[in-house]
Amino acid sequence: MSHPRDALKQRLLQEARQRRQQRPEGESTPKPSAGGVDERFTRFDRHPGYQQLKLMREGGQRLGIPDPFFKVHEGTAGATTIIGGHECINFASYNYLGLAHHPRVIQAGVEALERYGSSVSASRPVSGERPIHQALERAIAETYEVEDAVVFVSGHATNVSTLGYLLGPKDLLLHDEYIHNSTVVGAQLSGARRMSFAHNDPVALEALLARHRRQFERVVVVIEGLYSMDGDAPDLKRFVEIKQRHQAWLMVDEAHSFAVMGDSGLGLREHCGVPARDVDIWMGTLSKTLSGCGGYIAGCRELVEMLRYFAPGFLYSVGMPAQVAAPSLAALEVMKAEPERLQRLHEISRYFLEQAKARGFDIGESIGVAVVPVIVGSSVLAAGLSDALLKHDINVQPILHPAVPEKSARLRFFLNCDHTREQIDHTLDVLQAEWKARTN
């Protein structure tokens, strides 16, 4: 089964082709340019992507549903945010522990900016290395209880560059069917063979390894710690057992699980009771709970040293600005110093899950940690409900087909440690009323 994001790309292309084949009356047929090349291949407004964008906008206008994307947040986005001058209850931020506006985190950025300037101006191997980079990487490695870590300036590029460098045409990458786009693009860059297995299904993974492992040199299995579409998590112990049995590497993308899962926020390994060194490659992002921007890889010293010297996204990219690295380091320290934030996040997440269930909402397989979807079963309904909630000063994003199957269209709620039970009750009551008004 293909990943929803792969399906999205294919559907966009298919609908764009159909649009070209069935042009409305009065629309001119593309003509060759002066050089004899069809305008479809020389004009951006003829590109399949732009054609699809026009279709999406036209469809929304016909249904009276505004574009749900690119909402402007006029301040810090936490449990609340300001949109269009209105204070809204906010369920569309990954600022899970509310650290992006913590005084200590902000001050760390200010001091780093004053000391190191606004840019390090070069790649770190050349002349962009600063003490704050090394301090952040040491802290990440110590937190994971592994030998070393390296930070990249982009979370997406972390996966793309790491997998693109480590693997080659003689290698195999196996990933959960719901894996993030960055892993897919990294596999494409590497030239490795790529196969997906059923979501959170170790039996399906083992069947693929039994069938294909000996045909390839290196094999990497990539899973996520907490899947942001569904709010569910894998059984890490099972995946570790399987990768060891078949002599493969295991990579865990902790973009949403680190600082969120486990009693201390140590992520999937703490949640599942698995030693950190049983996983070969730990990946995470700095842009969510760690309140900065970029990504990291943590693991053995040899892995990290290779990436520092050879991974294109690190070697040829400017180093992370100091005022981005310093807040992430401070956020990591605050996370450990103020464990009550994580406790509040777990409590309010469980409360949301319980109250959503009590009202009869379908929350899928969510485990009730930070991410809870409410599956509504229709893209039109999901978009309409999102718009209706915003009119009640409640901000939650819809996830529409083909990003998910039509029957799985949903509203996706991201919880924050500063959300209150009153906000949760109000939100679910409004959602229930608006849903009833649209379906009766």
Residue closest to 106 by CA, chosen among 76, 132, 72, 74: 76
Domain C-terminal end among 274, 307, 337: 337
Total domains present in the chain: 2
Domain for residue 19, yes or no? no
Residue in the structure block whose two tokens are 């609908």: 15
> Are both 314 and 346 inside the same structural domain?
no
pLDDT of residue 14: 59
pLDDT of residue 250: 98
Residue closest to 184 by CA, chosen among 6, 405, 23, 424: 6
Tokens of 190: 């590497």
Amino acid identity at 22: Q
pLDDT interval class at 405 (50, 70, 90): confident
pLDDT of residue 33: 64
Residues 186-221 pLDDT 10s: 999 999 999 999 999 999 999 999 999 999 999 999
pLDDT interval class at 59 (50, 70, 90): confident
> Are both 385 and 242 inside the same structural domain?
no
Q: 55-69, 88-102, 339-353, 421-435: lowest mean pLDDT where? A: 55-69
Amino acid identity at 227: Y
> Are both 86 and 228 inside the same structural domain?
no
Residues 112-163 pLDDT 10s: 999 999 999 999 999 999 999 999 999 999 999 999 999 999 999 999 999 9
Residue 89, pLDDT above cutoff 90: yes
Mean pLDDT within 374-389: 94
Domain for residue 17, yes or no? no
Question: Distance from first CA to last CA of the chain, Å, rounded?
Answer: 35
CB of 418 within 8 A of CB of 98? yes
Domain for residue 393, yes or no? yes
> Are both 237 and 380 inside the same structural domain?
no
Containing domain of residue 239, as a range?
101-337
> Are both 166 and 274 inside the same structural domain?
yes
Tokens of 67: 């574009």
What is the three-class DSSP state of 37? coil
Q: 11-15, 166-170, 264-268: lowest mean pLDDT where? A: 11-15
Residue 68, pLDDT above cutoff 90: no
> Are both 220 and 320 inside the same structural domain?
yes
Residues 335-374 pLDDT 10s: 999 999 999 999 999 999 999 999 999 999 999 999 999 9
Residue in the structure block whose two tokens are 């000996």: 214
> Are both 367 and 254 inside the same structural domain?
no
> Are both 178 and 86 inside the same structural domain?
no
Domain C-terminal end among 306, 321, 337: 337
DSSP string, 49-101: HHHHHHHHHHHHHHHT----S-PPB-S--SSEEEETTEEEEE-S---TTSGGG
Residue 12, pLDDT above cutoff 50: no
Domain for residue 287, yes or no? yes
pLDDT of residue 21: 54
| CATH number of the domain where residue 394 is located | 3.90.1150.10
Residue closest to 319 by CA, chosen among 156, 110, 126, 160: 126
Residue 383, pLDDT above cutoff 50: yes
pLDDT interval class at 22 (50, 70, 90): low
The pTM (predicted TM-score) of the whole model is: 0.89
> Are both 226 and 242 inside the same structural domain?
yes
pLDDT of residue 276: 97
Q: How far apart, in whole angstroms, are the C-alpha atoms of residue 117 and residue 149?
A: 24
Q: Which of 16-25, 267-276, 403-412, 430-439 has the highest mean pLDDT?
A: 267-276
Q: How far apart, in whole angstroms, are the C-alpha atoms of residue 157 and residue 182?
A: 7
Domain C-terminal end among 337, 362, 385: 337
pLDDT of residue 11: 52
Mean pLDDT, rounded, of the chain: 92
pLDDT of residue 10: 55
pLDDT of residue 207: 98
Residue 298, pLDDT above cutoff 90: yes
